[in-house]
Structure 1
Amino acid sequence: MADLPDTDGKNLVEMLDMLKPVPEPAPISMWPATGGWIWLGLVLLALAVWGGWRWREHRRANAYRRAALVEIGQAGDDPARLAEILRRAALSAYPRAQVASETGADWLAFLAASCPGCDFTGEAGKALVQAPWRPLPPDPAVTRLVETWVRRHRRGEAAA
């Protein structure tokens, strides 16, 4: 016990003055302690980059849908304008050879095949076929049908 200072005859304040300050701990490193965290970070970074790329590609691939929906909002239930918007959207989503030559019942069958749940057999479907060739009164049912097709159709090859 030779390391201890002599405390004989000292009061408490004097003994407190003899204390040495507590040493500061070594700084904590922000670097991961194991290599697994580094690999996990790299994998998460790669997933974030891949997810961002996929989101951008999805957004770019569906730009025609957003543009068509804006035009549908501006068409004012006019069947002729809606038929034109629908044709342009279909030409953007499907190969031109598959869409451009379709008319009449074949066009409606193509639209129905490319959008499960869309019913083109009613008056709204007939109005889409007739509207480019003769004036028809505004019809909100045609607007709803075209908007539904633009939102829900599947891109690519439609089973016509």
Structure 2
Amino acid sequence: MSDALPGLDQLRELPLPAAVSYWPQTWGWAVLAVLALLGGAWAAAAVWRDRRRNLYRRQALQALRRLEQEAANNPLAARGLPALLKRTALAAQPPAARAAVASLGGDAWLAYLERAVPRAFPEGSPELMRVLAYAPDETVRRLDSATLAQLIRASRQWMVKHHVAA
């Protein structure tokens, strides 16, 4: 037996392990990756479809904000509220049902609004809508600003909660 220790020149580098592959080791992981990609694509398509379907709602709410700001300075600007509600309701309908909604007027129109979102409008709203649509300018100028603000809030609630038909 030799007491001599091996020299440093006899040491060798250890070999490095093979690089880890990013490719899945089994076909199950590949299937899971494909399913995850399909699920992500489906979710993205659903979000896109929902945003596209509710574009009219976002535009109507934006128009309502403008109308509310204008009505704070000039009560006559609130005359646009019934027409804005009607345009919003028409945009929510599929093309085949638009004629039926467009022909509604008076009590039938107000009943349609109530059916779409029950209890959205407070007591006296039908009369206030008639005043905004048909009364002389002096009558509209004399409207209570708190009542008008309450009607605008109710209209906003209706726009947010009404059902999209298609």
Larger helix proportion, structure 1 or 2?
A: 2
Q: Residues 120 and 155 of structure 2 are in contact (CA less than 8 Å); yes or no, is this contact kept in structure 1? A: no
TM-superposition CA deviations, 1:29-55 (whole Å, max 9, x none): 111000011111111111111111111
Tell me the residue number matched to 1:24.
Answer: 16
Tell me the residue number matched to 1:92.
Answer: 91
Tell me the residue number matched to 1:130.
Answer: 131
Q: Distance in 2 between matches of 1:129 and 1:156?
A: 26
Letter in structure 1 aligned against 2:59: A
Instruction: Report which stretch shifted further, 42-51 or 110-119.
Output: 110-119
Letter in structure 1 aligned against 2:153: R
Give aligned pairs, total. 148
Letter in structure 2 aligned against 1:10: A
Q: Residues 57 and 88 of structure 2 are in contact (CA less than 8 Å); yes or no, is this contact kept in structure 1? A: yes
Q: Secondary structure at the match of 2:134?
A: coil
State which of 26, 32, 41 in structure 2 corresponds to 1:34. 26
Scaled by the length of structure 2, the TM-score of the pair is 0.80
CA shift at 1:9, angstroms? 4.3
Letter in structure 2 aligned against 1:151: V
- The runs of at least 4 aligned residues of structure 1 exceeding 3 Å deviation read none
Structure 1, unpaired ranges of 5+: 1-6
Residue 109 in structure 1 maps to residue 108 in structure 2: no
Structure 2, unpaired ranges of 5+: 72-76
TM-superposition CA deviations, 1:82-109 (whole Å, max 9, x none): 1111010001012222211111111111
Q: Distance in 2 between matches of 1:117 and 1:44?
A: 43
Identity among equivalent positions (%) equals 29
CA shift at 1:21, angstroms? 1.5
CA RMSD of aligned residues (A): 2.0
Label 1:41 to 1:18 Cα distance change in 2 as closer, same or farther (>3 A): same
